[in-house]
């Protein structure tokens, strides 16, 4: 049973496809919106997320690349397809994966003003940029590229598998303003990253020999935490899961947010999520190469001294271009996210529950715009979303979104939230126009979950 549970959690963590966070933002007062804005308006007295099923989300995207580019069964030689793909990419293109599973989630109203929420979720977040220079060098070698400087700075990736325990409060300051904050304790099971690399590798026609190879200002690091223990790879999946429960490398973060109603119909909101860090000091295994080295072959002396040229070269290479492994700890920032939104409500005004002062009246229709930004290693990724939200009844709401981001200019999303008795179900599907051919989609995103909500 234990193994089945682990398998199920791993399956959910790595296979489920879902989540465009901007679509969930401020949608239908769902409990999960509090994870995107702790200052969101909450109009119920308590919520309990169904364990492991309250929030399942993932977001898979790639710029300048779709699966069918490479794997379409079109009788085109795959070598040509990959060559075209690499030619069309640049060092800013990337692939990203983000999945989250809410393991536990809950919240309750303390009084008219304060709502406390808490929970635990696991997150896999990975981004890797296409190191075009490295790919060109590996595919074609240096021979076709004399005088071209291959940049090591294009080596840029980050993978995190973490568990997050969090608790937050949403406080209604007055009828117009709600502020909120959340404290997060991160426990990292895995971190792999390479960033802030510098240096170039160049082959020129030489003076002392036919070619001169220059390794200039190289500083390349490959950091890992959580995958090697006592010089051996950790192979037990349960260890990784255990490390997401406070047994891994620990970190701290905060979320802050607000909602401000200019008038009953116009609302501004914003939040900063995952502003924090993780301090890696356990199970570290880093590799660092740094230095300068110029090589133009072995200069033979013919002086009868039986010089061991190869050993000399090896010694100079290791001295000038030092590669060392170390277990030095390091600090890595979490990818902070920034949300801002404006929402205008209109239509019929309804009350969710009569004679309950905790329940806000709401309008049946709303439209607005949201700006989402996540701070990534190379540059922030920005998504702009326009939306229309409709309440068909107290128990059924929908949200239609149009998003422009790095991955698509035609991203239309649909979210639905329904409630029967105390059971709430929500599902959000992004990029629905790509459903006719998922293999040609730059991004795929879906979120769904089940909550018990008590008014």
Partner 1 sequence: MSIFKKTSYLIFSIFLLSCSQTLDFEQINDYEVAPVFSVALVSFALEAEALDTFIGISSANEIEELTEFRVFENSFIRDNLTQLGFNFELVNQFNRDFNLQITLLDDDDNTIHEFQELNIVANNIDFKQEEIITIQQNPNIINVTQVLLSVRLGNTSLPIDNLDSGFLELKSAVTVHLETSI
- Nearer to partner 1 (CB atom), residue 40 or residue 201: 201
**Contacts to partner 1 from residues 332-371, by CB under 8 A:** none
Residues 53-112 within binding reach of partner 1 (CB under 8 A): 67-68, 70-73, 77-79, 82
Q: What angle do CA 357, 359, 360 make, to 5 degrees?
A: 105
In the complex, minimum distance from the CB of residue 53 to partner 1, in angstroms, rounded to a whole number: 13
Which residue in the block uniquely carries the two structure tokens 């309750």? 108
CA distance to 22, 27, 54, 251, per residue, from 236 (Å): 35, 39, 27, 23
Number of residues that bind partner 1 (CB under 8 A): 63
How far, in whole angstroms, is CA 239 from its chain's centroid?
Answer: 23
Which token pair is 396? 């059924």
Residues 380-409 that bind partner 1 (CB under 8 A): 393, 395-396
- In this complex, which beta carbon is closest to partner 1, that of residue 167 or of residue 416? 416
- By the 10 Å C-beta count (0-12 exposed, 13-18 middle, 19+ buried), 54 is classed as buried
| Contact letters for partner 1, residues 196-215 (x by CB under 8 A) | -------x--x-xxxxxx--
Question: Read out DSSP for 168-187?
Answer: EEEEE-SSSEEEEEEEEEEE
CB-wise, 10 or 423, nearer to partner 1? 423
Tokens found for residue 418: 């329904």
Window 411 to 450, contacts with partner 1 (CB under 8 A): 414, 416, 418-420, 423, 425, 427, 429, 432, 435-440, 446, 448
- Interface of this chain with partner 1, residues 30 to 59, rule: CB under 8 A: none
| Residue entry with tokens 């977040």 | 125
Strand positions, DSSP E, 195-248: 198-205, 211-225, 228-229, 232-233
Site string for partner 1, 273-312 (x = CB under 8 A): ----------------------xxxxxxxxxx-x-xxxx-
What CA–CA distance (Å, rounded) separates 406 from 341? 19
Q: Which is nearer to partner 1, 131 or 163 (CB)?
A: 131
What residues line the site for partner 1 (CB under 8 A)?
67-68, 70-73, 77-79, 82, 137-144, 146, 203, 206, 208-213, 295-304, 306, 308-311, 393, 395-396, 414, 416, 418-420, 423, 425, 427, 429, 432, 435-440, 446, 448
């Amino acid at each position: 049973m234990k193994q089945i549970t682990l398998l199920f959690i791993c399956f959910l963590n790595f296979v489920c496809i879902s989540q465009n966070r901007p679509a969930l933002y401020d949608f239908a007062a769902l409990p999960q919106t509090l994870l995107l804005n702790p200052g969101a308006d909450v109009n119920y007295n308590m919520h309990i997320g169904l364990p492991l099923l309250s929030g399942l989300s993932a977001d898979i995207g790639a710029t300048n690349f779709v699966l069918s580019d490479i794997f379409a069964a079109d009788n085109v030689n795959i070598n040509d397809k990959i060559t075209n793909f690499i030619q069309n990419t640049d060092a800013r293109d990337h692939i990203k994966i983000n999945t989250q599973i809410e393991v536990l989630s809950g919240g309750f109203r303390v009084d008219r003003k304060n709502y406390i929420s808490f929970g635990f979720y696991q997150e896999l977040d990975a981004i890797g940029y296409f190191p075009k220079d490295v790919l060109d060098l590996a595919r074609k070698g240096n021979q076709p590229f004399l005088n071209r400087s291959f940049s090591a700075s294009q080596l840029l990736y980050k993978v995190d598998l973490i568990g997050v325990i969090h608790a937050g409060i949403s406080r209604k300051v007055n009828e117009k303003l709600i502020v909120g904050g959340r404290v997060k304790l991160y426990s990292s099971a895995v971190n792999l990253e390479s960033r802030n690399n510098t240096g170039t590798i160049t082959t020129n026609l030489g003076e002392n020999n036919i070619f001169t190879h220059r390794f200039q200002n190289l500083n390349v690091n490959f950091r890992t935490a959580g995958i090697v223990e006592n010089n051996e790879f950790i192979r037990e999946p349960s260890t990784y899961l255990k490390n997401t429960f406070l047994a891994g490398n620990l970190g701290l973060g905060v979320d802050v947010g607000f909602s401000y109603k200019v008038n009953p119909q116009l609302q501004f909101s914003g939040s900063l999520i995952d502003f924090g860090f993780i301090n890696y000091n356990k199970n570290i295994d880093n590799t660092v190469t740094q230095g300068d080295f110029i090589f133009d072959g072995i200069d033979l002396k013919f002086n009868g001294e039986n010089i061991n040229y190869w050993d000399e070269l090896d010694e100079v290479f290791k001295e000038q271009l030092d590669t060392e492994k170390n277990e030095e700890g390091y600090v890595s920032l979490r990818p902070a996210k920034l949300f801002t939104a404006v929402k205008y409500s209109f239509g019929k005004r309804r009350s969710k529950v009569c004679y309950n002062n905790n329940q806000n009246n709401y309008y049946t229709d709303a439209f607005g715009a949201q700006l989402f930004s996540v701070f990534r290693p190379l540059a922030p990724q920005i998504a702009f979303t326009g939306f229309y939200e409709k309440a068909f009844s107290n128990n059924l709401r929908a949200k239609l979104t149009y998003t422009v981001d790095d991955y698509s200019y035609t991203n239309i999303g649909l979210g639905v939230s329904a409630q029967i008795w105390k059971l709430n179900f929500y599902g959000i599907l992004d990029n629905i126009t790509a459903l006719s051919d998922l293999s040609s989609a730059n991004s795929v995103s879906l979120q769904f979950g089940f909550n018990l909500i008590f008014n």
